[in-house]
Amino acid sequence: MTEPPAPHASSAHTSSARTSSANGTSHAAPGTAPSALTWHGGRLYRHGAPHRVLSGALHYFRVHPDLWRDRIRRLADLGLNTVDTYVAWNFHQPREDLAPRFDGWRDIERFIRTAGEEGLDVIVRPGPYICAEWSNGGLPSWLTGRDVAVRSSDPAFTSPVARWFDELVPRIAALQAAYGGPVVAVQVENEFGSYGDDHAYLHWNRQALTTRGIRELLFTADGPTELMLDGGTLPGTLTAVTLGSGPDAARQLLATRRPDEPFLVAEFWNGWFDHWGKPHHVRGVDSAVRTLRGIIADGGSVSLYMAHGGTNFGLWAGANDHEGRLAPVVTSYDSDAPVAEDGSLTAKFFAVREALGARGPLRSSTHSPKLRPARLPLHHHADLLPGLRAVPATASTAPRPASFEQLGLDAGMVLHTAHPRVPPGDHRLTLTDVRDRALVFADGTWLGLADRDSADLPIRGTGEVVRLEILVENLGRVNYGPGIGRHKGLLGPVLVNRRIVQGWDSTPVALQEWSATELARAVAAGPASTRAGFAMATFDVETPADTFLALPGSSRGLVWVNGFLLGRYWEIGPQVTLYCPAPLLRVGENTVTVLEMERLGERVELRDRAELGPEEEYVEEFG
């Protein structure tokens, strides 16, 4: 299907498949059913009957697919009638030269069908930008690496989006309520009003959905301020809001702008996510329930963000830009949700269930089974650089260090090597723009750590050539705001005093793509003589069950279980334990592999509960 042209505002609410009148009544094309959800007089209807959307966000890409049905069932037990999910483009198509994948963990059609089988409607939020504290806001780094004007009507952006939508949207369209499926609504872009004001792009996005077969309810979602609603709304398209507090003020604001539309909160932040080095955010039960009651009063509709947060497995966690400083998101996406990261039903679950008026018996267990706690000795097998070098990769040779984007690398690390001659005496080695963290070695000797705040290191020369190695780690791509799409790597020159070091070999270390064979090759590159590198532990399992991994004494690194990359750990917290779901384990021997960047501890611990760190009450305010 070819890319639709960007329409003018006058045609924003028309398509060959469906039209929406100003009051939300749907007019289907001949031979098709009308939209399941419509509105009139400030009220929402489902197939003509008064209706209230009680939804919960649950992202298929953050939950092991063997647990999708369990988590969806827990949302139904919560008293919800709908589940909503984003679609992460980069999760399906991390490389441009490969077709998007929709199998296994990426089988969004299976996820949607499972929700329908459990009696829930589905809302899909296809982006292409999703935020979601997900790497790059869901946009592929192969696209943003071109420095295109993302989230705009520039054809350099909309053309790749059109090709992606050609693959994605018909799959969603086939599962719409009009065809007997559970999809009842689709979001147009995502909180665009907090980013820009290119309304031609919003019109394009809406038409890109309708011309590919979407005929159910379309809506936008933005923060409840005049500025955000001015930038992110469309004529003839339902306006929803996202908020953590102040539902009455939001309702009044929408009533002045869209008096005939029902009140829909597309994201109610009943919890919040965490950054490394900051406290674990929680939202008090009473505070959350009080705001929820205010939203659903007088027929209001809501989606809990998150109802179940899940986990940022692998290296998919995003980051935020706080006044020029990167704030990476932790591996856990528990988000203090009613259904905890491991599926446990929390006190918030039961309070929300009561507020929603759910009365039936629970089909879900309160807690999932856990492995017995254990301490596993860690055996150090290979030092850091030899282990990384043991996995073959094609290096780039150039006068300057190659960025992640130039190497076609989304996440992981890059090992840069140069051979400058350093005069006798003490000198300064300066890394002018590190994105995000670098370990620096000279002739195999550790010089220090560099980042954007501290990028100046001492180096002593003898007048001979030095083998300078700089290992740069990507800590997460920005997922929100104008920093989306920023490049990673050594982006500025490396200096010895004021002289630029030239002539670099840059080798990508694609940790997220490593196979079990490649991981084993790194581990086998011993012997180990430092406190950084690759280590292993093993444990036996009779019956697979959930567990939580902790690494006391270790500094910062990554953990694999049976070759699957769980994610990042870091002693700065707040997160202490990494969630390991039961489907990742097997009967018999299981293997934990650790890549420690700085200081390896002596053991891995299996624990029977999450430890997400010291808590801080958090409520997002608009004003």
3-class state of residue 162 by DSSP: helix
Q: Say which DSSP state 10 is in.
A: G
Token output for 29? 């094309």
The first and second tokens of residue 332, run together, are 């856990």
DSSP letter for each residue of 114-146? HHHHTT-EEEEE--S---TTBGGGG--HHHHTT
Give the three-class secondary structure for 1: coil
Assess whether 469 carries a catalytic annotation.
no
DSSP states along 567-607:
EEEETT-S---EEE-GGG--SEEEEEEEEESS---SEEEEE
CA distances (Å), origin 140, targets 88, 91, 164, 529: 9, 8, 11, 38
Peptide bond into 424 cis (omega under 30): no
Two structure tokens written together for 300: 């209001």
Q: Which of 133, 267, 341, 405 is catalytic?
A: 267
Q: Rounded to an integer, what is the distance from CA 73 to the centroid of its chain?
A: 23
Specify the pairing of strand 547-550 against strand 121-125. unpaired
Residue 505 carries which side chain, given as an amino acid letter?
Answer: D
Catalytic residue among 3, 133, 191, 469: 191
Task: Give, for 548, the enclosing helix (H) or strand (E).
Answer: strand 547-550
- d(C-alpha 406, C-alpha 566), whole Å: 27
Comparing CA positions, the residue from 45, 10, 131 lying closest to residue 479 is: 131
Per the annotation, the verdict on 267 as an active-site residue is yes
What residues act catalytically?
191, 267
